[in-house]
């Protein structure tokens, strides 16, 4: 069974459209993340949720809105897509305890390659 | 925010040789992790080393951490063609909830 899954794997769309990427983890983890990896492989965190609560919200345009319906899912919705949004988006999860500040290994999904034309 | 920087950016070696990659960071950390990313895939965790540890081993991997120099190294011994991948370090700084990754070292192992 896939631990962290993302759909779709590839997403090609026109500028101005709205799209969503879904992420699910079956590891029972409390924390989930969204990362963006650019063409130079720089991996930057966008959001993190712990037990459905937003705990990290990096400098990301408000066109990006994460939604966590339950702790096993963290979806990413993007409005009014722009050319610069083209990248690979990774979802990850981990069994962190942010209150004790103990961080553990993250399990990554396979990535969603978004291309905005 | 805290950011690890890997060095070198790219490394090309022959199978059987050892590969060493370094990571430097700027502020005190809780822990440091190394990840591998094969082309077109997600990252896979290799080793986590905590700030009070100096060395860890896992199979052919050896990680060291020098908090006085704010640096870590990843050594892959007796490399194989299958080790070809990008290797990233990730740190989380004291007082920060934000894990930050470097840009990675691209390793090519020639058969």
Query: Which chain B residues touch A107 with a CB distance below 8 Å?
Result: 45
Q: Are A93 and A25 in contact (CB under 8 A)?
A: yes
Range of the domain at B20: 5-110
Cβ-in-10-Å burial (0-12, 13-18, 19+) of B82 comes to exposed
Q: Mind telling me how many Å the CA of A47 is from chain B's nearest CA? A: 9
Of the pLDDT bands very low, low, confident and very high (cuts 50, 70, 90), residue A100 is low
List chain B residues with CB under 8 Å of A58.
Answer: 98
Count of domains for chain B:
1
With a CB cutoff of 8 Å and minimum separation 6, the contacts of A2 are A26
In chain A, the residue whose alpha carbon lies closest to the alpha carbon of B92 is A103
Residues from chain B contacting residue A98 (CB–CB below 8 Å): 97
Total beta-carbon pairs less than 8 A apart between chain A and chain B: 58
The label of the residue with tokens 């899912």 reads A73
pLDDT classification of A98: cutoffs 50, 70, 90: low
Q: Which domains are assigned to chain A?
A: 4-116 (2.60.40.10)
Contact B42 A4 (CB under 8 A): yes
Residue A59 touches chain B, beta carbons under 8 Å: no
Cα angle for residues A30, A36, A37 (degrees, 5° grid): 125
Q: What is the CATH number of the domain that holds B13?
A: 2.60.40.10
Task: List strand residue ranges (DSSP E) for A63-116, in order.
Answer: 64-70, 73-78, 87-94, 107-108, 112-116
pLDDT score at B2: 47
Q: Is A110 in contact with B97 (Cβ distance < 8 A)?
A: no
Q: Give percent above pLDDT 90 in chain A.
A: 67
**pLDDT value at A1 more than 80:** no
Q: Do B99 and A58 touch (CB under 8 A)?
A: no
pLDDT in tens, B48-89: 999 999 999 999 999 999 999 999 999 999 999 999 999 999
Q: Which of B23, B32, B99 to mutate to test the interface with A (most CBs of A within 10 A)?
A: B99
How far is Cα A32 from Cα A56, in angstroms, rounded to an integer?
10
Quick one: closest CA in B to A105, which residue? Answer: B45
Alpha-carbon distance of A71 to A53, in angstroms, equals: 9
The gap from C-alpha A37 to its chain's centroid, in whole angstroms, comes to 11
Count of alpha carbons within 13 Å of B44, Cβ hemisphere only?
10
Give the residue among B94, B74, B99, B87 at the shortest CA–CA distance from A92.
B99
Q: pLDDT tens, A56-79?
A: 777 789 999 999 999 899 999 999
């Amino acid at each position: 069974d896939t631990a962290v899954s993302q759909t779709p794997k590839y997403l090609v769309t026109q500028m101005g459209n709205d799209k969503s990427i879904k992420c699910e983890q079956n590891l029972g983890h409390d924390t989930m993340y969204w990362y963006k990896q650019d063409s130079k492989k720089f991996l930057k965190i966008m959001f993190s949720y712990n037990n459905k609560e937003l705990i990290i919200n990096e400098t990301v345009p408000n066109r990006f809105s994460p939604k966590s319906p339950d702790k096993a899912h963290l979806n990413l919705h993007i409005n009014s897509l722009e050319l610069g949004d083209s990248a690979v988006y990774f979802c990850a999860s981990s069994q962190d305890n942010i209150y004790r500040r103990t961080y553990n290994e993250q399990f990554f999904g396979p990535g969603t390659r978004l291309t905005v034309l | 925010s805290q950011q690890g920087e890997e060095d070198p950016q790219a490394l090309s070696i022959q199978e059987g040789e050892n590969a060493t990659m370094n990571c430097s960071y700027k502020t005190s950390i809780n822990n440091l992790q190394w990840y591998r990313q094969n082309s077109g895939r997600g990252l896979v965790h290799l080793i986590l080393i905590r700030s009070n540890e100096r060395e860890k081993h896992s199979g052919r991997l050896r990680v060291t951490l020098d908090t006085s120099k704010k640096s870590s190294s990843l050594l892959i011994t007796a490399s194989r063609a299958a080790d070809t991948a990008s290797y990233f370090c990730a740190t989380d700084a004291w007082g920060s909830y934000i894990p930050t990754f470097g840009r990675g070292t691209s390793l090519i192992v020639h058969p």
